[in-house]
């Protein structure tokens, strides 16, 4: 995966965006450390099976509030 520094991104954000629009996945670094992945959006509609869109169902009935840790476990586990 190609690496883009924060400085490169700030100097020419359009070039970075064009790369992702061409299908390339990039790693953005900040002070030499990877901090985020930039990747193209595969489709314009969310995948209904994505746990993020089902948090209310995953939390169960009764309006139970989830902690951030619980949400992360449900989404990323």
What pLDDT score was predicted for residue 12? 95
Residues 16, 51: Cα–Cα separation, whole Å = 29
Domains of the chain: 2-38 (3.40.1620), 43-77 (no CATH)
Q: Between 53 and 3, whose confidence is greater?
A: 3
pLDDT tens digits, residue range 8-63? 999 999 999 999 999 999 999 999 999 999 988 877 776 777 777 777 776 665 56
* Helix/strand number for the chain, H first, E second: 4, 3
- Confirm whether pTM is higher than 0.85: no
What pLDDT score was predicted for residue 62? 59
What pLDDT score was predicted for residue 49? 74
């Amino acid at each position: 995966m190609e690496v883009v520094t924060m400085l490169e991104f700030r100097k020419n954000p359009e070039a970075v965006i064009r790369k992702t629009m061409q299908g390339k996945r990039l790693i953005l670094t900040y002070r030499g450390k990877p901090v985020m992945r930039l990747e193209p959006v595969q489709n314009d509609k969310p995948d209904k099976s994505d746990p993020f869109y089902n948090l209310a169902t995953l939390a169960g009935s009764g309006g139970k509030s989830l902690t951030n840790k619980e949400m992360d476990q449900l989404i990323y586990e």
